[in-house]
Every structure is written in C-alpha cells, then in structure tokens.
Amino acid sequence: MRLWPRRHGTSYDLLVAGLGNPGREYTRNRHNVGWLVVDELARRHDGAWKGKFNGKLAEIRVDGHKVALLKPETYMNDSGRSVQAAMKFFKLDPDAVLVVHDEIDLPPARLQARLGGGTAGHNGLRSIASHLGTTDFLRLRVGVGRPARGDRRKPADYVLSDFEPHEDAERLVAAAADAVELLDAEGLEAAQRAVNVRNST
C-alpha cells in the first residue's frame, strides 16, 4: 500500500527533488549526489530536462505512476524556493515530496529512507523546511561519510569535493535510484524494509 493516496486534482504521484549545486565544478561532488540520482532516474525512464521552477524539471513514468524530477538550480542554500514552487504548481502535499540528498552522518554507500526529521545542519534541507513550513517531507539520505582519520578538511570542504574512485559513485547512485523506484511503487515502509534494514547490517 502506498504511503500517499492519489489526491484529486494533483497531476503527479511524487515529486523527487535531487539536491545539488549548478556549475561544472560541482558535478561530481559528494554534495551533488541528489542531482546524480535524479539524472539516473531520467536516464532510465527517458526523461527530458527543461528549465522550470528555478531549476530543471523532467517528467517520467515509473511503474505506471507519474513522477516529476526536479534539480533546483538556486544553489543548495536556497533549494526550498524551487521545491516549494514545484510542489504548489503540482498541488502536492509535503508527504508526496521526496528529497534526495547527501548525508555525512551515514557511512559511505549507506542509504536511509524516512519521513520527516530534523535538518542536521544540511542547508538544503533547512531551506526546504523553511519554504514548505514543515519538516514532514520524504527524504532519501545518501551516505557519503565524513573525512577519514588524518584528513584535515572541514566537512563542508569534504562534501564539496569529488567522489574518490574507490567510493564507486556509480554503484551508489544506482542503488539510490532503485530505492526511489521502490518507494514510488510500494510506499515508504517497503523502501525502509529494503533499504534501511539492509544497510544497518
């Protein structure tokens, strides 16, 4: 059973917002993993990007459901402006908005799906919560870990650096895209059973 019933008057079942920063220098940053995930979903389902809502929007179908993919181009600290505009346009409630973002408090390659929660210092989440007026939106937390012992970079500098080859970003992005597809098809609880439990062992 899906977490959210299809609501009268809405045009989409789910809005998936992948967080990141615009600009070629940020493309492969850990902080841009949300963008990488929605790019992968667009590739899998033949989505075409177009400019809208101060970002890029692609419309796809996943298992028969209409899904909107969003890449805010407002920079991370103002992501909420783009997400709010898309949510209002599609007449969606916050629990039909899924935000895919990097998470330094999860080990590399670990995923966690959840509804609501704090922002844990993540500027993108803070902006979205502020603009939506609630923290009760869906999240897919994509673990990127913290700097290794001996690495003197600050967390902010670490997430704004590229994935290392051994981190296998392609595999991580594919697993996160799989989790989004499962959440859309079967709801949050099914995604949590598959993703959270598997990643906690």
**Catalytic residue of the set 8, 31, 45, 101:** 31
Q: Give the integer Cα–Cα distance in Å for 84 and 89.
A: 8
Q: Give the integer Cα–Cα distance in Å for 37 and 179.
A: 10
Q: Which DSSP helix (H) or strand (E) runs through 183?
A: helix 169-186
Query: Residue with structure tokens 């009268």?
Result: 8
Residue whose C-alpha is closest to residue 143's, from 124, 125, 164, 159:
159
Q: Give the integer Cα–Cα distance in Å for 145 and 153.
A: 13
Strand partners, 71: 56
Q: Which DSSP helix (H) or strand (E) runs through 130?
A: helix 123-132
Measured CA to CA in angstroms, residue 106 lies from 29, 59, 60, 147 at distances of 16, 30, 29, 12
Q: Give the integer Cα–Cα distance in Å for 32 and 37.
A: 9
Tell me the residue length of the chain.
201
Find the radius of gyration of the CA atoms of the chain. 16
Whether 65 is catalytic is: no
Q: What are the residue numbers of the active site? A: 31
